[in-house]
Amino acid sequence: MSRQKLLDVAANHGVDLRTAALQFSAAPDVASALVVGCRTEQQILADYTSMQTKIPAEFWADLKAQNLIEQNAPVPQMSPAGVSREDV
């Protein structure tokens, strides 16, 4: 897998790759918590902001279409317009 391909897909969708990585890590139902390391208040705020950011479903679909993640990989549940199901 190429990091550049991931960066290209993220850029095409206006998604921060770090944000996507954090949310992808939290998507599976196999864990009840995601523990992210940080040393500063700014890192804590950045992590919180990343977890609150809406990522469109098309981003995850594009990753799967380009075989950058597994077809059956769990992804954060978003509607195509980038609205979380909880907001609908």
Per residue in 42-67, pLDDT (tens digit) is: 999 999 999 999 999 999 999 999 99
The confidence score (pLDDT) of residue 83 equals: 43
The answer, yes or no, to whether residue 28 has pLDDT greater than 90, is: no
Of residues 31, 35, 40, the one with CA closest to residue 22: 35
Which residue range forms the structural domain that includes residue 24?
3-87
Q: 20 with 10: CB under 8 angstroms?
A: yes
What's the number of domains the chain is made of? 1
The confidence score (pLDDT) of residue 8 equals: 97
CA dihedral (60, 65, 69, 75) positive or negative: positive
The confidence score (pLDDT) of residue 78 equals: 56
Per the listing, tokens 């990753």 go with: 63
Mean per-residue pLDDT of the chain:
86
pTM: 0.78
The confidence score (pLDDT) of residue 1 equals: 59
